[in-house]
Amino acid sequence: MIDLNEVGAHPQQDAHGQWQIRFGIYLPHITYAKGYGVKVRIIHAYDQFVRGIEPKDVWMNWQNGSAYDRWEVTVPLTVDLQSRFGQPGEYLYRFQLFRHAQEVTFWFADPFGRASGFGTLSSVTVDPAAVPFAWTDHAYQTPEVDRMVVYEVNVREFNRDFDGLVMQLDYLWDLGVNVLELMPISNVKEDVEWGYTPLGYFAPDERLGGPVGLKQLVDACHGRGMAVILDAVYAHAHPEFPYNLVYSTTGEPNPMMGVFEGEFFGNDKPGTDYRKTFTRDYFFALNRYYLAEYHVDGFRYDYVPGMYDGFLGQGYADLVYRTYQYSRQIPRFQADGRSRILQCAEHLPDPRQILAKTYSNAAWQNELLEAARGHRIDERLAHLLDPELVGYPSAYRNDMTGDTFPVAPFQYVESHDHERFLNTFGTLPQQDLLNESYGDRARFYQTQPYIIALYTGKGIPMLWQGQEFGENWGVPGDGIGRNLFERPLHWEYFYDAPGKALVRLYRKLGQLRRELPALSSRSYFYYYNNADHLHNQIIAYRRGVDDQGAGSVMIALNFSDQARQVWLPFPAVGTWTEQLEGTHPPLQVTHPDQWLPFSVPSHYGVVFRIA
């Protein structure tokens, strides 16, 4: 078992009050007996580019008989009058590997480094006045699956860094959002990168605000009742990730990387191999660390086909099971003998099996996205608004352990992987530097019935940053331009006519989703299957707390270019009022299941509830 107290960089004071840093690293199969030596190179950050000041080189000691061949050394921070070494502040460090006194690996970072410099440098800060982070989220509870609305965000593109995201939390809350899904936040090689080839895992990127910035973001979110989940890239890593680099240069058996399942980059560039004990321990230790140190609410596991070897396998299924069991001891997750931790799988080939057979309570799936982008108003689109109808489970049950918890798929029409939904209705002549066309925002109105469907259908709604005001960047279908090109949000769109109209609609839908139990992720759904509806490009359905009509909400969506009259049977006696615009005359229902007509505006919808 990996012990995080043994590895990484740990500032501490000796018995005389002298500051020192204890370094540790696991390098399985790299031993002194084979002629290897490991050196740590450390320099004060202010001295990094000063002529004549070199890093301090310190040889590490191999711990014979230790788990995973641990190397360690404690470096006294003895004051050097020719540099800032020995003074408080940030220290940058890296490792070098030698065999029989010959350099084998010139430079590799700390795979357990808790902070990073730019690129392939790890960092550690010595601060005599440091105090533990003051968390204020003691009373916070992670939202239930049934009540979640998710917002996927690239922190840097959204508003620069973690602090920029904190500034916009009230804005996001008004959209109905109560879960932030952060795209990868660990350090990466390139200055602009989506984050799906991590250099390391334990260090939140300094360019985003580093460890303190992430803690401040999570604490601020929890203060508003919002959860934070991290995009977990556990199937592959950057070629310069230490457990790639060291073992490619030494030829020793790699304890982590190897051909496993569904290799993303092909078998010639293998990812993580979960048949290896060290791999399983590493990522379980990583999950425990982020849950405990950063109070995150769970993980969105990227590219699960590269981790998944069956529901009884050693890869993904084992990791989410162990993580779930660990999370049960954490108060924010506790609910009726189960855990609310959010574990979402991106397993696009078979999301249904993942939800039915593993300890995942959510899953990415592209079915609604693909149907919406086809612009076909048919039964398929209507049925996808009820995931249970198309084969998704509503709960996970393990008869052997007795564990059971609610599950639901994410529902979305946009994600970082695809061009903007708006762009599918038309583009402008203007193009970006990659020759990708911008979407025609004058066509914003055509997206509206799909967004009403997203908020009022079953499943967990997910928004991709900026869609709420008509963001219109293009994205290439392949190539490095997808993830190595920055697309900052056009916040100026928030103020123009299309942006204002869309934001107003999203806010209203967010309020309804939050207030009405009938619109939860797994509540009752009844589709009014009517050939005339489909002919007129209408989809109508009823949501309810149960199938008896309690708390019912009636929804009709109009995807056509003209207003339509629709007849529906209203299930309960009383006055029904329209919630989106409030301009439709109230409907008086005098007996259950009374059929009444109403008008639905073009490219829009209506939502009726009983007063």
Rounded distance between C-alpha atoms, residue 59 and residue 72, angstroms: 9
Sequence-separated (6 or more) residues with CB below 8 Å from residue 220: 166, 169
Mean pLDDT across the stretch 294-320? 97
Architecture (CATH level 2) of domain 8-126 = Sandwich (2.60)
Rounded distance between C-alpha atoms, residue 605 and residue 559, angstroms: 8
Mean pLDDT across the stretch 372-382? 97
Judge whether residue 268 has pLDDT over 80.
no
- Going by pLDDT thresholds of 50, 70 and 90, the confidence category of residue 477 is confident
Domain locations in the chain? 8-126, 147-518, 525-610
CATH topology match: 8-126 vs 147-518: no
CA dihedral 198, 203, 208, 211 (to 10 degrees): 160
pTM: 0.97
Rounded distance between C-alpha atoms, residue 108 and residue 94, angstroms: 6
pLDDT of residue 265: 76
Rounded distance between C-alpha atoms, residue 403 and residue 398, angstroms: 5
Tokens of 498: 């299309």
3-state secondary structure of 399: coil
Most distant CA pair in the chain: distance in Å?
Answer: 91
Task: Give the type of residue at 308.
Answer: Y
CA dihedral 458, 464, 470, 473 (to 10 degrees): -140
Sequence-separated (6 or more) residues with CB below 8 Å from residue 343: 298, 299, 301, 320, 323, 324, 359, 360, 361, 362
pLDDT of residue 246: 97
| 406-456 per-position pLDDT tens digit | 999 999 999 999 999 999 999 999 999 999 999 999 999 999 999 999 999
Query: Residues 250, 99: contact at Cβ < 8 Å?
Result: yes
Architecture (CATH level 2) of domain 525-610 = Sandwich (2.60)
Residue 166 half-sphere exposure, CB side, CA atoms within 13 Å? 16
User: The domain 147-518: what is its CATH number?
Assistant: 3.20.20.80
Q: How many helices (H) and strands (E) does the chain have?
A: 13, 32
Task: Give the type of residue at 597.
Answer: P
The average confidence (pLDDT) of the chain is 96
- Going by pLDDT thresholds of 50, 70 and 90, the confidence category of residue 478 is confident
| 532-588 per-position pLDDT tens digit | 999 999 999 999 998 777 789 999 999 999 999 999 999 999 999 999 998 999 999
Tokens of 333: 């997750």
Rounded distance between C-alpha atoms, residue 50 and residue 40, angstroms: 19
